[in-house]
A and B are shown apart, each in its own frame.
Chain A
Amino acid sequence: MTIAEERSELAHEPEAGGQHGPTGIYKWLTSTDHKVIGKNYMYTSLVFLMIAGAMAMIIRAQLVQPDGHIVSQQMYNELFTIHGSMMLYLFAGPFAFGGFANFILPLQIGAPDMAFPRLNALSYWLYLTGGTTMLMGFFVNGGAAAFGWVSYAPLSSYTNSPGPGPDLWIVAIILTGFSGIFTAVNLVTTAFYLRAPGMTMFRMPIFTWNMVVTGILILIAFPILTAAMVMLYADRHLGTHFFTVAGGGSPVMWQNLFWFFGHPEVYILALPYFGIASEIFPVFAKKPIFGYKGLVFATLAIAGLSTGVWAHHMYTTGTVLLPFFAALSLLIAVPTGIKVFTWIGTLWGGNLQFRVPLLFALGFLVTFTMGGFSGVMLASPPFDFAVHDTYFVVAHFHQVLAGTAIFAGFAGFYYWYPKLTGRMMREGLGKLQFWIAFIAFNMTFIPQYLAGLRGMPRRIPVYLVSDHVTFLNQVSSVGAFLTGFSFLIWLLNVWISWRRPIPAGDNPWDGHTLEWATSSPPPHHNFTSLPPIRSQRPVWDKNHPEYADYTTDHDGTPKKEVEPQ
């Protein structure tokens, strides 16, 4: 039985496009449309970004002086714990994987919706309630969790961290964890089973490929996180001794479990943004992506390798096989380097259009590459001995993760905002936001490398004058406040586009992939008609038949024998 026959048995004609069904709040509560859910994810995660960003502002204000008095030590510990947890679990992941992937992936492969629309809606509600749960910690007796986003045992035991705050944190992680798992199942299934005819796997846009690989990684990593959280809860309340020495357990086992999730998680957060950048560079260079297959295999290599590097967060425990983890961690630099050179190769020889999405994507490329350099150094165990748990590490992962999520995230937002809403953002304000954010961001984190090398540990609310890091911290704090300010420009831009819309049209950027073949915003069930899919860039082929991909060979020279269709 062929799939086509199977499909006709399921025949249930989607209703014609256009607005129908409920509106307003009831639409928001009941929609199973991937576009509505994707937007919900995006706006919710941006609210969480603002909240977690405000926490970062308080943290930086506290560190302006060596003996800052902005918040108490307990509050400081709660703030950086929830700041990290929110940025990682509630912003960086859901913004790209719940937001962009949900909205864009079905469009890019020519699907009418996600494979499991109801599950998709459930994912969002688990995400929203999980996020709410995490914030509830601040309002209960004893305050929110205060043991860092890594929650090392036995600091996270009931003896050392009593009260409901840590339990709320555990529940929040479990709820958002399930939300991520459901979204991953949904996206992988959608990409495997709902592609349009002719959209073979090796014609899928890189964005979609990256989401598939991210989904596979989530399905590997998140169950371990959930299991670890259940064990932690059991240790806290049910009298088990997984992580307590007195009961025969092992605190280091927590670190193994957590990082076995935690390192793939880093790539779960980063790969979607790599996908966004991989869409933007070709469009604004008016070229295809350079080395498509190399990029796909690099992404798969990162996924494979990321499962074997967890203990590079544990070099200084003295319990792990250093050369093994150093070798695999360093190897990840190779596919990551391939990506960076692929992006530069895409720009090479192009006709560069310096619009706001390209600027943000370039900002991502620069900060990510800088963070990559320090990452390669940190993969070396002896160097890690010197700077582990210092601000050097803080600077590193903010450059790779925050830099990626903010710059590539906003690149994607500016790029797809016309498709989301049918409106353009203001170009001038976007450029202003970019330049302030780019300068301020590096001003925030480059001094932190130096502070770390001087010996400033992370997660401290006070430090010594004799550490000679006061000035560095002051520069960093000013940079952080300016970064925060750049978000206000973005909010203004959104507000202006909302009050005085500039219509975008279907394809304002001369985009290459299928999401630009439908209207902005797309109709219910996405497409009224599809262009023929004969390459990785069906919309480009349609709009530029003389330069269509199937008419040229790999070098860009026209093939003789192929007739343009």
Chain B
Amino acid sequence: MSERSVPIRVLIAKPGLDGHDRGAKVLARGLRDEGFEVIYTGIRRSTEAIIAAAIEEDVDVVGLSILSGAHATLLPKVVAGLRAAGANDVLVVAGGIIPEEDRPGLAAAGITAVFGPGSTIGEIATHLRAHARRR
């Protein structure tokens, strides 16, 4: 078989304990319509489960949706876990309600972008296309 160009693979996960996933589902469908392969994992996933899923699915991007306010600890844990597993080139972005003052810390932890409630799917898709690894 000759080599084919492949869609960008994105894992959408909701770490933490809050049970609302409407935003995450809208994002998952929106990115599918933008031509991404979206793996949706559902709510209340542990960071360990998210890391393992990202490895098994060999995704290019992990998108973490979070509303619970636990972002400051959970999000850096996912990045660190991915790096420890050898997934150094996986882009990690976050979405949800994250206060402005927390963003520099997340950026320093390796979260390349934070998309607030006003972000459009198009904006997110553009960021992922620009920054996801190429293969």
A binds B: no
